[in-house]
Structure 1
Amino acid sequence: MAHSRALQLVKLLQPCIQKKLLLSGKAVHAQALTSGLSFDTFLSNRLVELYSRCDLFDYAFNAFYSIPNPNVFSWNAILSSTAKAASFELAFQLFEQMPERNVVSWNTMISALARRGQEEKAVELYHGMVQQGLIPSHFTFASVLSAFSSLMDLSEGRKCHGLAVKVGLDFNLFVENALLAMYTKCESLVDAVKLFEDIPDPNEVSFTALMGGLVQSGLAEEALRLFTRMHRCGISVDQISVSSVLGACAKFHGAVLNPDEISSYYAYGQVIHALVLRHGFESELHVGNSLIDMYAKHGNMDNADLIFKMMPEINVVSWNVMISGYGQNGDANKAIEMWQLMQQSHFEADEVTYISLLSSCVKSGDTETATQFFYKMNSPSVASWNALLSVYSQNEGHKEGIELFRKMQFLNAEPNRTTFAIVLGSCSATGLLEYGKQLHASSVRYMLHEDMFVSSGLVDMYSKCGHIDAARRVFDGMCERDVVSWNSMIAAFSRHSLNKECFSFFKLMREDHMSPTESSYASLANCCARLSSLPQGRQIHAQILKDGYDADVYVGSSLIDMYTKCGFIVEARRFFDSMPTKNIVSWNEMIHGYAQNGYGEEAIVLFEYMLRSKEKPDVVTFIGVLTACSHCGFVDEGIKFFDSMKNEHGIEPLADHYTCILDALGRAGRLSEAKLLLDRMPCNDDPIVWEVVLASCVVHGDISLGTRAAEELFRIDPNNSAPYVLLANMYASKGRWFDASAVRKLMSERRVVKDRGYSWINQKGDIRVFMVDDCLESVNCDGGKSNCDAHLDDIVAS
């Protein structure tokens, strides 16, 4: 009779538990007390569950402790209640006190720990459960696989997969989805795709998990195709799947895509927006944020702003996406305005907000505002430090960046690989070798010196500071290399005119199964240009065409330089005209090519065409144009272009520009004008300027100005042999033999030695370099040995 009454009360409690009807549940509890049934174990277990569901944990404990003989279900009920209250210490005590544990007991603890971010403890309990011979359930696998995902422990996740197969749960959809999530988060996309294809009936969770993995891996197009497949299979879409596919539509940002491909992503995003409206998801916060992000990444800030204003609810993420969107689209002022509105709306900015603002300042080059935002952060993370370091680096504030890194170390903020790469880049740009060495030592202390990212930065730093041997030692000591590492070393050899080593490393790189990139080919083309080796340059050009890098603007500019340095100006112009996109470097190379090869008129015509095409010239452009005017005797045109630099283009002339004008005036014999220019130019300590003036004086016999130029050169560079030789020759040409002899005597007393000239020839695909004194020796030994053999036949094999 009592047992029957207890069952009736349990039935009355069931809806109270499901719907959290606390008052009704208490009424049932009161009936149990008045009926003398409060000691019934089954009924008491349900009361523990009721109070736990209603978050009355004290009541739950009272109900548990009133049970005279609690069974394993009683213990599981109070354990679940304790774990739900996040009282882990008490939960562990209860777990240890349990006289008997079943799979539910272990699952409760493993699940609670995994949910609360204590993944390592969850995994430890899982291993303990397996060791005790208990067979995990699908709930066990779901919890522990979630822990492995958070820990990025692919190896243990695979072992767990194996156990799931062994116990026959590998085709349980709950377990399959957990495995899918684990593989995608551990970036094992091959395993994830294989698993997905083996699922007999994937649901929306399966599709969404794989879509998320594809987006995370940058495979946006594949993610869109999967969403289309999901829709065609009749799988109902939800807010999470829609957010994932919107992420795919925005994931193109930063990828190398043509305008048509970008337009297709945008069109797909608009279709998803229509789907959102049809299903009524537009009021869902996460979906709204994804829509804003998608439109912002495509540069449509008007639509992004409209969605933002129409959202019934917004959070900090919404503000951050808007701020980031304006920053990415180059509108730093609007990003700052959004931050101000965010504060006025009583939303507290987080670190993501400030990093977005810092990124906006990077785009606009506003270092001062970026610094102000950085110092508003209470405890900036390494990502924030890196963002400000990037602002300094990209705006050539290298010294400020290095000082910031010192402050970072003083405040014990631990740098990461990105930090070292940025600061090493600053050392490379400023030639700070000693500080670069300190960074190298610091990277060893932080165990980051073997990281490919950092090692490539070290190679670049040492090579740009002139220590190619140190760069090579760093490269040789790398445990693992990627294409960036190889390119850093190849560029280092090219930069230091070690052409043979550059070609040799290119060959080794390909033997290491690394595919060359734009940087690789640009370095090789520069070597060919330096050697004036047309046959080798054409082989490199052929390989560039084969690999599809001929459309790259930097590779193209290097090829133009190579052809012009080899004297093949027609081929250079033909390639220049075929380039789909050109930048200032491309224009400069072609103009300089014309100038250096005596095509002054063509250089001027191309320069004027450049101005009509709205390409803005820089200091290098004017060096090319003025050189062309100088070499071809267009003195008045050169003066006109020189004057236009500051008046029309806002470019302050440098020593090189003055040198070109002085050379043009000197070649034309207009030395009186050259004297006037010398008296008013700001760069009087540049030796090239005075060498040009002295050479002109030798040609035209101006002793007075020539002597002045020589004296300036003796002061600036006393060990340079050129002024001694030129001045002596000028005196000799005027019959002033005593003065000429005095100059040569002075040269001897100062132990100044005239530099030897050298030449190079191309012989059967080899570049042979020899000095003036090598001629007889070469004849005596049947041509001599090559000083620079660059065999390319086996390097650029098709």
Structure 2
Amino acid sequence: MESKTTTHLVNLLQACIDKKAHRAGKILHAFFLRNGLASQTFLSNRLIELYSKCGKIDSACRVFDKIPQKGVYSWNAILSVHCKVGNVQDAYALFVKMPERNTVSWNTLISALVRSGLEQKALDAYDAMISEGYVPTHFTLASVFSGCGALLASERGRICHGLVIKIGLDKNIYVVNALLCMYAKCGLMKDAIQVFGDMHEHNEVTFTAMVGGLVQTGRVMDSLKMFRLMCRKGIRIDSVSLSSILGACGRGVSGEFYQDDLNDVLSSNVHGQQAHALSIKLGFETDLHLNNSLLDMYAKNGDMDSAEKVFAHLPEASVVSWNVMIAGHGQKYQSDKAFDYLQRMQWSGFEPDEVTYINMLAGCIKSGDIETGRRIFDSMSQPSVSSWNAILSGYTQGGNHKEAIQLFREMQFQRVQSDRTTLAIILSSCAAMGLLEFGKQVHAASRKASFHTDIYVASGLIGMYSKCGKTEMAGCIFYNMPELDVVCWNSMIACFSLNSLEVEAFNFFKQMRQNGICPTQFSYATVLSCCAKLSSLSQGRQIHAQIAKDGYVSDVFVGSALIDMYCKCGDVDEARRFFDMMHSKNTVTWNEMIHGYAQNGRGYDAVSLYKDMITTGQKPDNITFIAVLTACSHSGLVDVGLEIFNSMQLEHDVEPVLDHYTCIIDSLGRANRFDEAEVLIDKVPYKDDPVLWEVLLSSCRVHANVSLAERAAQELYRLDPQNPTPYVLLANIYSGLGRWDDVRAIRELMSDKQVIKEPGYSWIDNKNEVQTFKVDEVQAVSGGTC
């Protein structure tokens, strides 16, 4: 009879546990106490389970404390309570105190540590479990694989993979799914695919892990194919798998679609729309996480109209929803709309978080609205380092390096710890302003924070020292790096090129290839620039062949550099042939070709190409007009040049600057139209720039216009007394006219003012080696030249 009563009470207690009936459970608990049943360990263990299910942790602990004889099940029950509510430290302390443990104890602890983000502690606990002779179960290994995935500890995961096979759990779908997820998170998709292929059965978790892993590693098309296979096999599609595939569609724009046959591949937005339709068909319209994934997909694809529609029909929104909309409009350079969403978000009762402000800052910076970005930044009570980086990046990108450096100093005063991004940004500003001493201080700060060997920071340091002319220091940074990537190599090549060490840059490029580093677009563009500076056509052609081999011929950046190289090496026809072959051209490409014609004295071709550029709808910029006006000047097309110059502001909304005026004055001077040149130079807003007067003085020499030459020389003496150019040019004019006394007077004036003419340099390209020669002595002013 007593046995039947106990069974009945147990059944009642189980019903309370199943239904989370806290009140009914308390009544039962009271009955146990009145009838002396509370001392029974079995009933007490079930009471702990009841209170745990109902979230009454204190009650569970009190029951546990009063158990007279605690068995391993009792300890496991209270351990589970602490783990369930995230009291990991208490759970760990309790675990240490346990007089007896079993596999369940270890599994409970390891699982809780992984869920709490303490993966390394979880793996250490697993090691202790194995060392004490316990055999892991499928629960243990699933948690361990999850921990390995979070830590990207692939080698540790491989060892556990071997154990899975050894103890015969390689057919357990729970374990194998966790194993597959681990490989996917570590980016080891080859291993993940192998595991996938060896599985006897798959479920939605398997496919979702595969889709997510393929997306993470940039294999967008493969992830879409995997999702289609999932649909064909009739695997249940849940909101998680749909969110994964929407992530793939959102990455399509910057993913690998361009590598496939575009006739067979629909745009990423169409794939996303199909996934959207499927989510509606499956009844997930109210799933907030999925709706946020939809918003993110449309925003990343730039389809803000569709994102607006989804957002407007959300049954409920979250901070994530608002953040996605703010980020989306920011990416579209619509900072005003992003700011409108920020205000609406606050009016709707949502509190902006760190991501909100970073998205808003990024939007303002992209839109060029740094003032609004700064106001938002200043309104933040405690901006994180990411927010500091965003506003610093805005100032740097906008060329306001002085403000960036001042803000960086303020960051130091507020004791905000810089990260690798902060240091790289501020080093960029130091480089742009040539602030060597401040750059050295940043270098010291990077060493203190142990970031000096970080590839990202090291590249910034190399760039800073390069711009400040300290190639040796840049080399020290490079050679002391524990490991190097292509960015570091590119930085050093650029360093040599920037400091007119083209031969060294070219040799360094060769060394990079010998070390097995594949050049990038930047590598090729820089070394082509070196070939152009050295007028080394043979080297340039070799680089062109390597570019074709590596598949960079269609890159606009590299293509423009190739055109520049051929033009500067005198092979303008080869440059034009390559120009005509290019599938896509930007303004830089057109400018390089027009400028190439100008350099090689083919003014008519330059003007014709300029007109073609206008006809194709490409908008000319400042550089375009410098190139075409230079061509007109060098080819005597004075009236054509004046016509183009006058059209700049009227037809193309380009304000003339110093270089444009210089081209026109040069053109008029070459044509002996000095009256017009003087009228123009008196109207120019750049009269105190020596370049204008140097150009005019050069023209005066050609046409022996002594009076205007003397005026130009006097202006140059005033503006830059140590510049030898006006002295030499005026002396040459005098010598050409046989006015030797005036020539002697110029030489004496140079001597009195200690003006020194630097020796010139020449070089020849001989059997792929460049040899440089220096003129050791300046020619004496005799026989007519200075």
TM-score with structure 2 length normalisation?
A: 0.93
> 1:152 and 1:770 mapped to 2: Cα distance?
56
Of residues 273-282 and 209-218 in structure 1, the stretch that sits farther from structure 2 once superposed is 209-218
Which residue identity does 2:569 align to in structure 1? C
Which residue identity does 1:485 align to in structure 2? C
1:252 equivalent in structure 2: 252
2:103 is the alignment partner of 1:103: yes
Change (3 A) 1:681 1:262: farther
1:589 equivalent in structure 2: 592
> 2:265 and 2:368 mapped to 1: Cα distance?
27
Change (3 A) 1:200 1:378: farther
Could you tell me whether the CA contact under 8 Å between 1:6 and 1:40 is conserved in 2? no
RMSD (Å), alpha carbons: 2.5
Which residue identity does 1:513 align to in structure 2? G
Could you tell me whether the CA contact under 8 Å between 1:252 and 1:262 is conserved in 2? no
Out of 442, 446, 457, the residue aligned to residue 443 of structure 1 is 446
Deviations 1:94-125 (A, max 9, x none): 43443322222232233333323344443443
Structure 1 residue 342 displacement after superposition: 0.8
Correspondences of 1:251-400 after superposition (within 5 Å) = 251-255=251-255, 257-258=257-258, 263-400=266-403
> 1:722 and 1:94 mapped to 2: Cα distance?
86
Could you tell me whether the CA contact under 8 Å between 1:6 and 1:43 is conserved in 2? no
Sequence identity, in percent? 54
Could you tell me whether the CA contact under 8 Å between 1:595 and 1:603 is conserved in 2? yes
Secondary structure of the residue aligned to 1:321 is helix
Change (3 A) 1:655 1:30: closer
> 1:773 and 1:175 mapped to 2: Cα distance?
79
2:190 is the alignment partner of 1:187: no
1:746 equivalent in structure 2: 749
Could you tell me whether the CA contact under 8 Å between 1:289 and 1:318 is conserved in 2? yes
Deviations 1:446-485 (A, max 9, x none): 1111111111121222222222222222111121111111
Structure 1 residue 740 displacement after superposition: 2.5
Change (3 A) 1:257 1:424: farther
Change (3 A) 1:172 1:617: same
Q: Which runs of 5+ in 1 are unaligned?
A: 775-798
2:10 is the alignment partner of 1:10: yes
Which residue identity does 2:554 align to in structure 1? A
Of residues 439-448 and 257-266 in structure 1, the stretch that sits farther from structure 2 once superposed is 257-266
2:211 equivalent in structure 1: 211
Could you tell me whether the CA contact under 8 Å between 2:88 and 2:116 is conserved in 1? no
2:468 is the alignment partner of 1:426: no
Of residues 75-84 and 481-490 in structure 1, the stretch that sits farther from structure 2 once superposed is 75-84
Change (3 A) 1:466 1:209: same
Secondary structure of the residue aligned to 1:770 is strand
> 2:709 and 2:95 mapped to 1: Cα distance?
98
2:55 is the alignment partner of 1:46: no
Could you tell me whether the CA contact under 8 Å between 1:351 and 1:377 is conserved in 2? no
Of residues 641-650 and 329-338 in structure 1, the stretch that sits farther from structure 2 once superposed is 641-650
Of residues 188-197 and 566-575 in structure 1, the stretch that sits farther from structure 2 once superposed is 188-197
Which residue identity does 2:638 align to in structure 1? V
Which residue identity does 1:516 align to in structure 2? P
Of residues 756-765 and 670-679 in structure 1, the stretch that sits farther from structure 2 once superposed is 756-765
1:81 equivalent in structure 2: 81
> 2:375 and 2:256 mapped to 1: Cα distance?
33
Could you tell me whether the CA contact under 8 Å between 1:398 and 1:430 is conserved in 2? yes
Of residues 516-525 and 755-764 in structure 1, the stretch that sits farther from structure 2 once superposed is 755-764
2:718 equivalent in structure 1: 715
Of residues 262-271 and 579-588 in structure 1, the stretch that sits farther from structure 2 once superposed is 262-271
Q: Which runs of 5+ in 2 are unaligned?
A: 778-786
Structure 1 residue 525 displacement after superposition: 1.6
1:149 equivalent in structure 2: 149
Structure 1 residue 245 displacement after superposition: 0.9
Structure 1 residue 757 displacement after superposition: 4.4
2:783 equivalent in structure 1: none
> 1:75 and 1:466 mapped to 2: Cα distance?
69
2:782 equivalent in structure 1: none
Which residue identity does 1:338 align to in structure 2? Y
> 1:756 and 1:69 mapped to 2: Cα distance?
100
Deviations 1:248-304 (A, max 9, x none): 111124347547688432222222122211211121111111111111222221211
Could you tell me whether the CA contact under 8 Å between 2:253 and 2:268 is conserved in 1? no
Could you tell me whether the CA contact under 8 Å between 2:455 and 2:484 is conserved in 1? yes
> 1:254 and 1:702 mapped to 2: Cα distance?
60
Which protein has greater RCO, CA pairs closer than 8 Å, 6+ apart? 1
Change (3 A) 1:48 1:502: same
Structure 1 residue 5 displacement after superposition: 2.1
> 1:129 and 1:212 mapped to 2: Cα distance?
31
Of residues 92-101 and 410-419 in structure 1, the stretch that sits farther from structure 2 once superposed is 92-101
2:690 is the alignment partner of 1:687: yes
Structure 1 residue 364 displacement after superposition: 0.7
Secondary structure of the residue aligned to 1:418 is helix
Structure 1 residue 758 displacement after superposition: 4.3
Which residue identity does 1:138 align to in structure 2? H
Which residue identity does 2:570 align to in structure 1? G
Deviations 1:154-178 (A, max 9, x none): 4444444444444443432222222
Structure 1 residue 357 displacement after superposition: 0.9
Secondary structure of the residue aligned to 2:315 is coil
Secondary structure of the residue aligned to 1:136 is coil
Out of 653, 658, 664, the residue aligned to residue 661 of structure 1 is 664
What count of residue pairs does the alignment treat as equivalent?
Answer: 774
Correspondences of 1:494-513 after superposition (within 5 Å) = 494-513=497-516
> 2:398 and 2:335 mapped to 1: Cα distance?
15
> 2:69 and 2:45 mapped to 1: Cα distance?
11
TM-score with structure 1 length normalisation?
A: 0.91
2:492 is the alignment partner of 1:489: yes
2:135 equivalent in structure 1: 135
Structure 1 residue 413 displacement after superposition: 1.5
2:526 is the alignment partner of 1:523: yes
Could you tell me whether the CA contact under 8 Å between 2:221 and 2:256 is conserved in 1? no
